[in-house]
Structure formats: structure tokens, C-alpha cells
Structure 1
Amino acid sequence: MTDKTKTAGREINPLLKQVLELGPPLAFFFIYLRLRDDSFLIAGTEYSGFIVATVLFVPIMLAAMGILWMMTGKLSRMQIFTAFMVIFFGGLTAWFNDERFFKMKTTLVYGFFAAMLGLGLLQGRSYLAYVLSDVLPMRHEGWMILTRRLCAGFTVLALANEFVWRTMSTDLWVKIETFGFPLALMAFLMLQFNLLQTYMEHED
């Protein structure tokens, strides 16, 4: 199988899967660019373009996840947790008319992942192995090394988000949130897998 990804007994084109996963953040980015200089009077309350873009992002993300679920029959725990955080903090952002709630969401998501991995390490376990061992065969030592490094990586991203949104403009935060953090995480993971090749288990 070279052109499709199999998930939960169903097949989905990998390009479509990427569109459904990456499309909503990109949609938020372009909606924000379009609305950032506008303000909207809704039910007697004035909302900035950022907050309106945040509110619009929620149904776009839920629609994409719904399509992905219908096509694959499954959503990962990470996807479900991220969706909950987006809905919860998006709702707080709109309710209190305060963009800081949505910006803090990224810190809490990365911080939660770091905390969960750290909890597993304290127990001498790798929760990464529990989730990914079926698709990435690797010896226990490799999983523990990767878990420690990824725990540290998520901690750095959480702290970086706090620094960015508290000290820099909303424009810059949106760009870093949409492109900077995901690309940094992807590059970090690729580097780790290259460094951990010696721990990979290969079939004869």
C-alpha cells in the first residue's frame, strides 16, 4: 500500500488526511489576516477580528474532525484533547471578550503533554511507546530516551508560547502559532528519530 493510509480498518488518502488535519489552523491564519484590522458589534458588544476569527475556527475544526472520523472511524486521544481545549478556551475567549484565553491554550496543551510524559517517566514507563509502538517498533531504551527528550521539547514549547504571547504582538503570535511551533516540533521529532536509529527493531 503506497498511496493510502489505513486507520481503524478503513483507508483514507494521506493527502486528504493532511488537509483535514492542517486545514483548520491555516484557515484560522487566513481568516485572522482578513479580519485583524476590523471590529464587530455583536449583541451590543464590540469584538476584535482576532476573537471573531477564533470563534469561526471552532466549527471549522470540528467539521474537519467530523469528516476525518466518518472516513476513518477513529480519532486519536491527542486530537480529541486538542479539540476540547480549542472549544473550551475559544468559548472563554468569546465569553470574556479576551484574546488571552486562546493564546494561553497553546501553553496548556504543550504543558499537558509534557506533564503526561513526565508522569510516565516517574513511573519508569513511556506513554509514547503505549501509543506508537505498533507503528514504530523500537527497544525500550529508545522509547525512554525519546520520551525524555520529547517531554523536554514540549516544556520548551510551552515556555516559548508564554514568552511570545506575553511580550510580542498578536500578529507575530499567530504566525508563530500557525507555522513556527509545528515546524519546530516536526524538525525536533525528525532529528530524534534519526539519532535513535540504533534502537529501532527491524524485521528480518
Structure 2
Amino acid sequence: MSDVLPTGPEPVPAPPPAKNGWLNYAIDFGPLLVFFLAYKFSSGGEGAFAATTAAIKGTVAFMVAIVIAMAVSKWKLGKISPMLWMSSILVLGFGALTIWFHDERFIVMKPTIIYAAFAALLLGGYWFKKPMLKYLLQSALEGLTDRGWLLLSRNWGLFFAALGIANHVMYEMIQAKQMSFDLWLTIKVWGVTALSFLFTFSQVPVMLKNGLAVPDEAAADKN
């Protein structure tokens, strides 16, 4: 999750806050979907130049979408989380470089930098006993203890580190012409999104063991 944990050219994925989870995911992954659709609808031509043109059109659409996502976050949630701020700055910065140099490599490089930054921040916080994920999300999972936030920070830090390494490997494969930009984008949009959802759900036992409040209905069913 941004308010939650996107990336590729998208906000980084993050665990959803206790409330408005669907909206947080829409804010995080909506701009990435916009980029994907804009790229696909613009990539009808042939040759490297056509692919680059489609990537640039997708980048422009994504930059507009991320600004809209920030506005919606401020309007509906009353805030723009530090994660969304950082992701948006990098999206706009690398998007501008992509447009200026007509080079889609900047799009592929951006997720590695985002993932590495969040991994360093979260794991550094874990080392110094600071639950950075709680501060970055600026949200509360009701009842979750500081130890629970600390464990989530560690686990998400490791997850981001793994994503960063994987994205760098794919970048090198694209450079060596062993992978296409299209395949990378498909993995980024669908593969990373699916992995983020699965990883979020895998952290539920950690949260439950560390004080996460269970809704009354769920508690009644459990009993």
C-alpha cells in the first residue's frame, strides 16, 4: 500500500488500513492499471519506436492518474500518506525523464529504487526498534501492538527487498534482450499486484497474534 502498500510505474503495495481498504487499493493500483491500459491501447504499431511511443503515452496517462489519486486520497481520506507522497514524486520524476529522453528504461528502473528505499527504511526501523510502517501509513490497525507493527515492518521490508531484487533482474534481462517490456509490464501489473494481496493476507496471523481487534461479528462466529 501509498496509503496502502503500488509500483512498476505505480505506487508501492502496502497492507490496507483498517477502514476504507477498497479505496486505498484503488488509489494504489488504479494509476498502474491506467498506465497498463494506455500502453496497451497505444501499442498497435510495430518496431522499437512504436513501443517507446506507447510507453510514453502510458507514462503521461500514469502521471495524470497519480496526481488524481493524490487528490482523491486528500479528499476522501483527509490525508496523503508519506508512502504515496514518495511514490508520486518518483513516478513524476522518472516519468518526466522517460518523456524527455524517450526511453522506457526509466519506467523499469523506478520500481527498483522505490522498493529499495522502502526496504531500507522499514528494515532500518526494525533494527532500531522503530515501527516505521505505522508512521509511513499514518493509519491504525485497531489494537495492534508496537511489537505487531515492528514485525509487520520487518516482514514488509523483506518483501520489498525481494521485489527490488526481482525487478533489477528483470531490468537486466530487458537490457540483454532476454525479456520484453510488454512481459515486464504484465508481470508488474498482474503478478506483483497478486503477490501483494497474497502477502497482505499472509500477515493476518501476525496481526491477530499481536492484538489486532476482531470485529464483533467475527468474534461471535469464532466463538
TM class by shorter-chain length? 0.7 to 0.9
SS in 1 for 2:203: helix
> How well do the aligned residues superpose, as a CA RMSD in angstroms?
2.7
% identical equivalent positions:
32
Distance 2:181 2:37 in 1: 14
Q: Structure 1 residues 30, 115: closer, same or farther in 2, change over 3 A?
A: same
Residue 201 of structure 1 deviates from its aligned partner by 4.7
Distance 2:79 2:207 in 1: 29
Matches within 5 A, 1:165-180: 165-167=171-173, 168-180=179-191
For residue 154 of structure 2, what is the aligned residue in structure 1? Answer: 148
Q: Deviations over 1:109-148 (max 9, x none)?
A: 1111101012212212221244467324223333332222
Equivalent residue for 1:191, pick from 195, 199, 202: 202
Say whether 1:26 aligns with 2:33. yes
Report if the CA contact (8 A) 1:110-1:154 is conserved. yes
Distance 1:37 1:91 in 2: 23
For residue 13 of structure 2, what is the aligned residue in structure 1? Answer: none
Structure 2 residue ranges without an equivalent (≥5): 1-18, 174-178, 217-223
Q: Structure 1 residues 37, 150: closer, same or farther in 2, change over 3 A?
A: same
Equivalent residue for 2:128, pick from 123, 128, 146: 123
Matches within 5 A, 1:39-54: 48-54=53-59
Q: For the pair shown, which has the larger CA radius of gyration, 1 or 2?
A: 1
For residue 43 of structure 1, what is the aligned residue in structure 2? Answer: none
Structure 1 residue ranges without an equivalent (≥5): 1-11, 40-45
Q: How many pairs were matched up?
A: 187
Say whether 1:163 aligns with 2:169. yes
Q: Structure 1 residues 101, 192: closer, same or farther in 2, change over 3 A?
A: same
Equivalent residue for 1:101, pick from 74, 87, 106: 106
Distance 1:124 1:97 in 2: 43
TM-score normalised by structure 2 residue count = 0.73
Higher strand content, 1 or 2: 1
Higher relative contact order (CA 8 A, sep 6+): 2
TM-score normalised by structure 1 residue count = 0.79
Report if the CA contact (8 A) 1:47-1:97 is conserved. yes
Q: Deviations over 1:155-204 (max 9, x none)?
A: 00011111223312111111111121122122112102224422225489
Distance 1:144 1:72 in 2: 24
Residue 33 of structure 1 deviates from its aligned partner by 0.8
Q: Structure 1 residues 149, 73: closer, same or farther in 2, change over 3 A?
A: closer
SS in 1 for 2:192: helix
Report if the CA contact (8 A) 2:56-2:98 is conserved. yes
